[in-house]
Structure 1
Amino acid sequence: MGARPSPTSTTRDTVNRLRLENYLRGVVPSEMPSSWDPDAVAAQAVAARTYAAWDLATPSGATSYDICDTTQCQVYGGYDREAAASNAAIDATAGVILTYNGQPAFTQFSSSSGGRTAADYYGKPYLPAKADAYDGWKRADGTYGNPNHDWSAQFDVASVEKRTGIVYLAKASVITTDGYHVSKIVFIGTGGKQVTVYGDTFRSWFGLKSTYFAITGRPTTTA
């Protein structure tokens, strides 16, 4: 079906209407290779089903669809992404979800945590910030097997000055939520001007993989 992105929009969004179990057939192989161990694919099926059930139980009412098809929700590739192995995992776990206090759990997931998980935005007690010992596995030659465990990005000071409106950037004070993930950055100019930027905003500015980062070079940072 087609739906308006907003009441006054002249364009249409394509919205698939289908049963939950059929929806999962386009999600599971999009989030995990169907060739992986059957137990892992089955676990992904349960996580994906639970995430969708949680989303259905907590509708925002701001859109014409229940759940989006990108990494902002769960990646959904439709019929073209279906695979026999993932379909088998979905069938084998049909109807199974994880619950907390009798309600669908918020089973957010990602391909990498960088070595530490972040506390859940909704404050769920079962999703605390903690070290992830499985993220940094290494190959026999000592290199990381996970390309998202250790990463870097480069940007010049001038680009930060342009974004913040500070003429000459002298210092940046980094505030973290848990000692690791950046919550806010206070940029300070030589004239004393201060601009506070949320970690997620800074991440989006420069295409960073997460808010688990540190700034090196000029300007200096403090934890």
Structure 2
Amino acid sequence: MTTPYTEAGTVEGAWTQSLYLPGPVPVDHAQRTLTALARTWPVAAFLPGEADEPVGEVVLYRDPSRTYGTPETSACDAAVRRLVTATGWTPAAGRADDGVLVGLGLREGYETGAPEHSPAEVADCLRAASATGWRCRTARLVSARLVDDAVRWYAEDGVLVRAEDRLLPAIEEAALDCAQHRYVVTHLAAQRTYVRHWRASLPG
């Protein structure tokens, strides 16, 4: 079966960093902090938890953009140092060096009011492929990017998947089931990062 997705925006390197907050904070507090960081670094992050649940962990990653480019891993490390200095957030010890990290939204496309899926649907798709080798957590998918001297904030309910790379086909099936137009794969095992675009959503 031909996949409806195509790879785009591929960059070398696979960077991600988890940070733990001293204590849970409201979502709007985390948003203000990340918005401030976005003035010097394009923020792409997962906030594990549901809807308005307080934030106790932030998972940062790189989101390749055809329009704005992708920050070098050294710039990402520098951004984390600035964030830690300003907030007291604590970087997780060590970093995952295998498998993949993928965030999937649960709303179909980008239209407000579009149908939404459940985290359980994504977990069921992964479970049908394998009983082991993956973890699926409910998370808020957020981004903050400086555009024309103003920070553009975006947030969507979704899931954060960490899995062995053999499960990429199952992740893609879940993305299709949730009608995701775009998702980012941080491929730690292959040390590269790329976007999967739904062909039907691409212009032209």
With the shorter chain as reference, the TM-score category is under 0.3
In the superposition, the TM-score normalised over structure 2's length comes to 0.27
In the superposition, the TM-score normalised over structure 1's length comes to 0.25
- Rg larger in structure: 1
Structure with more strand by fraction: 2
**Higher RCO, Cα 8 Å, sep 6+:** 2
